[in-house]
Chain A
Amino acid sequence: MQDDSMNTLVSELLAFIARPAISDDAFNALALKLFAHQFEHNRPFQKFCQGRGKTPRVVKHWQDIPAVPINAFKDLTLSCVPPETCARTFMTSGTTRGDVKGRHFHPTMAVYDTSMLRNFAQHVMQGDAKLRMGILFPDEVLMPNSSLAHYLALAIGHFGTPDSAYYLDDKGLRTDALCEALQNAQDSGEPFAMLGASYSLVHLMDALQARGQSFRLPAGSRLLDTGGFKGQSREVPMDAFYDQLSATFGVSRDQCLNMYGMTELSTQFYDAGNRQVPSVKRGPHWIRSRLVDPLTGQDVPAGERGILAHTDLANFNSAVTILTEDVGQAQDDGFVLLGRAQGAQAKGCSMAVDNFLKAAQA
């Protein structure tokens, strides 16, 4: 029975995530097991792998599992179970290809939630059990298909004090209420955690600047932004963004955290603050990243820029290894993000796809 095999895998996965650390062999073994499972139960994925000549018979190392480009989440149904039986389906925001959205099917939320909570506790909570939180993102009722909305719901539900709240709803940013909460936190001396989309923080800072308002949040406060600006707000250079965050809320750049996550993953990456940008991002022991040449899938030479490919064991139902469109460079025990691999501009009068798309949209 497929259900049984999935349930066994899920139990194994939860146990794996719960372990304090794991060996390379253990990671490899579970990655290959997940690959074999997906190859067997996910027909489009199977055909994709066959097209690359990569089957469980020949793949012996997690690095050889074919990386599924994130666009496949738009064009293919990547699920080992019928999508309609899934507990949740997360969708991408559809910023790059209009109304075509990537879909990530989660038969159970147990793995995603465990992965998120354990990682969040370590990198964001940093030993605190609860924090007063302000969320700058709509809640799950407003955005039932947003993985970020779910992520933030987990954060506030498990780690937020009762006076934590959402400050963004269908009517927009609740600036007055948020200012009151921030003032209240400042007066009480209780640390405050503000979490949200990077562009929402820009909107908030713009609103506060218009009011001539700023805060000195108590020690232990932290800010977490994610997702970049996506054309939703003005583009702010990273240094200026964190300088302004720090100045507006009185939180040192060491406690301005950035989370790097994707709808197509079930695990997130964090940095240890943004005193220096770009900051080094790290993931927990159940996710490993490589920097690859996007055409050959081979690792780029050490130290060179490459496209990030992530092997996320928590992606048990979709594709264990995905190929992003993000350019990265290895650093220390993690990687730095260097932006997206924007289509190369054609030189001169030849026309490449990117120019073509722009021309088609004009």
Chain B
Amino acid sequence: MSPPVFKAGYLPGLNDAEVMWHRLTLGTPQAPFQVEVPQLSPAQMTALAQRVQDASRAHLKTMAVSDIVRVIDKATARLLDRHDTYRQQLERLMPQASGFDAEMVRLNLNTYLQTFRSLQLQRFVAEDFANPKVLDEFQPRTQGGWTRAFGPELLVHVWAGNVPALPMWSFVSGLLVKAGSIGKVASAEPVFATLFAQLLAEVAPRWADCFAVVWWPSGDADPLSTERTAFALADVVLAYGSNEALQVMQARVPVTTRFLPHGHKLSFGMVSAAALSVHKGPGAARQAALDVVRYDQQGCYSPHVFYVQRGGPLSPQDFAHHLANELAALQHKLPRRALSLEEAAQVGAWREAHEFAALNAAKPDNANLTVLGHADALSTVVFSERLLPLSASPLNRNVLVVAVDTLDDVMPLIAPQRDYLQTVGLAAAPEELLPLGQALGQAGVTRICALGAMTAPEAGWHHDGRFSLLDLVRMVDIEASTEHAAERFTSYEA
């Protein structure tokens, strides 16, 4: 018996039979997971876009943001409910599709979903709009005149597949600004967006036509491709992916369309000597290990390197040993997913490069480089006494720990990666926070959080230093002069 095939996509107004379906095989060679994704024709895309725009005008743009928040909250509550069928489907299908351990998906999903409950969503809106009512109607400005924020008629999302459930951020952002949305799922993760769209339509039936979930082959050079058709119809294109993929997309987005790319990012951790007491140091290492283990370092916020300060009761090398042990221990609770041959080869090459450097004792540069791995090769910590610049690890639980005299020494080491910097997981004393924040911000970092929180950005975070909602809208001003002039045209005598 052939295994069941997951039908991805959410296509209001289209029958399955009218659509061409493309078969993808996800999962692992041992446990393949078959998915069919919808591949619309350009004409179907045009019709779908029209339908989504019409529906969002009628049913989303007419709602108050506070009501939209209530609907999303209801959907989130269902996804947090273990007995809900959507939740059960997510728990079952996402590990199968991604290869990630089921328990890891479950735990991460809970943390993640908690940022999409009513209180957090309201904070999310308030983060970008001091007066959220500006999304509902024209609001008076203190200097005179009126302003209102208009969401896009059509927002096109291009999602990435590195982290399960990633589409929820931009999906929800689109709803909060009342945009009609068409999202393209990544070949690697078509499950979440599909189920989320279905659930929303169930929770709010009048929203049923306000969004769609599709797929198209990336890199189709045809000038009349479905991708270009979608981009041409959109007000805003919000895209996640590799810089190469984004570059290609950018060339296809009309200049009149706003393009919001989220490309490659590098994140890292910093541990102050203040956090390295005999009692607290191991805890810091455990939190660092959790940041590494969650989604096997596949997120843009996942750490590649930890810079650890000398001078505390625990040395940087001690920290590296604790980290290696924690990683090994977490393997039992949250096993790493099976690697493809290519991924394994990449990890192997990275490990070996450090092993060879360590063996080259003749070169003094390489003194005090230690590879702390376990024979099972499920995670590796490479420890360096020598300053090493921030560089990308091969992911999948392989990190570098670098000893530094002061955390200020880190700044020149990260400077070359300025364009790619994102999150810093920081363990430091209160008096260190703002000076370090100042230096890191200047270096290009956009998010600083506690160790252990790297993979769980707070609601309303400024993703890559930008505004999640504000970047999507168009502000429309009625200037004071209009109002003053209007006063002259009253029907009554003043």
Binding site for B on A (CB under 8 A): 44, 47-48, 51, 53, 69, 71-72, 75-76, 293-296, 304-307, 323, 325, 327, 341-356, 358-359
Q: Is the CB of A296 within 8 A of B376?
A: yes
Residue of B265, B339, B357, B392 touching A349 (CB-CB under 8 A): B265
Across the A-B interface, give the 9 residue pairs with the lowest CB-CB distance, nearest first. A348-B160, A348-B162, A356-B392, A341-B345, A75-B356, A294-B348, A344-B342, A347-B162, A349-B300
When distances are taken between beta carbons in the complex, the residues of chain B under 8 Å from A325 are 345, 349
Q: Interface centre among B244, B353, B375, B392, by most A CB within 10 Å?
A: B392
Residue of A75, A295, A356 touching B353 (CB-CB under 8 A): A75
Residue of B243, B347, B420 touching A295 (CB-CB under 8 A): B347
Residue of B nearest to A356 (CB): B392
Question: Cα distance A343–B340 when bound, in Å?
Answer: 10
- Does B248 reach chain A (CB closer than 8 Å)? no
- Does B186 reach chain A (CB closer than 8 Å)? yes
Question: Cα distance A351–B242 when bound, in Å?
Answer: 8
Question: Cα distance A353–B352 when bound, in Å?
Answer: 14
Distance in Å from the Cβ of A320 to the closest Cβ of chain B? 18
Question: Cα distance A343–B339 when bound, in Å?
Answer: 12
When distances are taken between beta carbons in the complex, the residues of chain B under 8 Å from A349 are 160, 162, 240-242, 262-265, 299-300
Residue of A44, A53, A348, A356 touching B391 (CB-CB under 8 A): A356
Q: Is the CB of A295 within 8 A of B355?
A: no
When distances are taken between beta carbons in the complex, the residues of chain A under 8 Å from B173 are none
Residue of B nearest to A75 (CB): B356
Distance in Å from the Cβ of B340 to the closest Cβ of chain A? 6
Contact A71-B352, Cβ < 8 Å, known A348-B241, A351-B392: yes
Contact A307-B345, Cβ < 8 Å, known A349-B300, A356-B392: yes
Q: Interface centre among B242, B351, B395, by most A CB within 10 Å?
A: B242
Question: Cα distance A69–B355 when bound, in Å?
Answer: 11
Contact A304-B298, Cβ < 8 Å, known A47-B359, A346-B242: no
Q: Is the CB of A294 within 8 A of B395?
A: no
Contact A69-B300, Cβ < 8 Å, known A343-B342, A348-B240, A349-B160: no
- Does B161 reach chain A (CB closer than 8 Å)? yes
Distance in Å from the Cβ of A41 to the closest Cβ of chain B? 16
Question: Cα distance A328–B205 when bound, in Å?
Answer: 53
When distances are taken between beta carbons in the complex, the residues of chain B under 8 Å from A356 are 264, 266, 391-392
Q: Is the CB of A344 within 8 A of B340?
A: yes
Residue of B nearest to A72 (CB): B356
Interface 1/0 per residue, B321-338 and A, CB below 8 Å: 000000000000000000
Residue of A nearest to B391 (CB): A356
Question: Cα distance A347–B348 when bound, in Å?
Answer: 19
Mark out the residues of chain B between 292 and 312 whose CB falls within 8 Å of any chain A CB in the assembled complex: 297-300, 302, 304
Contact A353-B394, Cβ < 8 Å, known A295-B377, A296-B376, A348-B242: yes
Question: Cα distance A359–B418 when bound, in Å?
Answer: 12
Distance in Å from the Cβ of B155 to the closest Cβ of chain A? 19
Q: Is the CB of B346 within 8 A of A350?
A: no
Distance in Å from the Cβ of B454 to the closest Cβ of chain A? 12
Residue of A69, A304, A351, A352 touching B352 (CB-CB under 8 A): A69
- Does B406 reach chain A (CB closer than 8 Å)? no
Q: Is the CB of B264 within 8 A of A355?
A: yes
Residue of A nearest to B371 (CB): A51
Residue of B nearest to A341 (CB): B345
Q: Is the CB of A352 within 8 A of B160?
A: no
Interface 1/0 per residue, B360-393 and A, CB below 8 Å: 1000000000010001110000000000000111
Subset of 15 A-B contacts with CB under 8 Å: A48-B356, A76-B360, A294-B348, A294-B349, A341-B345, A343-B394, A347-B186, A348-B188, A348-B241, A348-B242, A349-B241, A349-B299, A350-B300, A353-B391, A355-B242
Distance in Å from the Cβ of A269 to the closest Cβ of chain B? 20
Q: Interface centre among A48, A349, A355, by most B CB within 10 Å?
A: A349
Question: Cα distance A209–B152 when bound, in Å?
Answer: 55
Q: Interface centre among B345, B349, B376, by most A CB within 10 Å?
A: B345
Distance in Å from the Cβ of B444 to the closest Cβ of chain A? 14
Residue of A51, A295, A347, A352 touching B161 (CB-CB under 8 A): A347
Question: Cα distance A71–B420 when bound, in Å?
Answer: 28
Residue of B240, B341, B349, B393 touching A69 (CB-CB under 8 A): B349
When distances are taken between beta carbons in the complex, the residues of chain A under 8 Å from B392 are 351-353, 355-356
Given A69-B348, A351-B265, 16 further pairs, Cβ under 8 A: A48-B355, A51-B371, A71-B349, A72-B356, A294-B344, A294-B345, A295-B344, A343-B349, A344-B340, A347-B160, A349-B242, A350-B265, A350-B302, A352-B392, A353-B391, A355-B243
Residue of A nearest to B163 (CB): A348
Question: Cα distance A53–B162 when bound, in Å?
Answer: 35
Residue of B nearest to A323 (CB): B348
When distances are taken between beta carbons in the complex, the residues of chain B under 8 Å from A293 are 341, 344
Question: Cα distance A53–B374 when bound, in Å?
Answer: 11
Distance in Å from the Cβ of A49 to the closest Cβ of chain B? 11
When distances are taken between beta carbons in the complex, the residues of chain B under 8 Å from A72 are 352, 356
Distance in Å from the Cβ of B384 to the closest Cβ of chain A? 16
Distance in Å from the Cβ of B164 to the closest Cβ of chain A? 11
- Does B84 reach chain A (CB closer than 8 Å)? no
When distances are taken between beta carbons in the complex, the residues of chain A under 8 Å from B345 are 294, 307, 325, 341, 343
- Does B432 reach chain A (CB closer than 8 Å)? no
Interface 1/0 per residue, B447-477 and A, CB below 8 Å: 0000000000000000000000000000000
When distances are taken between beta carbons in the complex, the residues of chain B under 8 Å from A306 are 341
Distance in Å from the Cβ of A187 to the closest Cβ of chain B? 48
- Does B168 reach chain A (CB closer than 8 Å)? no
Question: Cα distance A157–B64 when bound, in Å?
Answer: 87
- Does B202 reach chain A (CB closer than 8 Å)? no
Q: Is the CB of B342 within 8 A of A341?
A: yes
Q: Is the CB of B352 within 8 A of A296?
A: no
Distance in Å from the Cβ of A94 to the closest Cβ of chain B? 16
Q: Is the CB of A296 within 8 A of B357?
A: no
Residue of B nearest to A351 (CB): B264
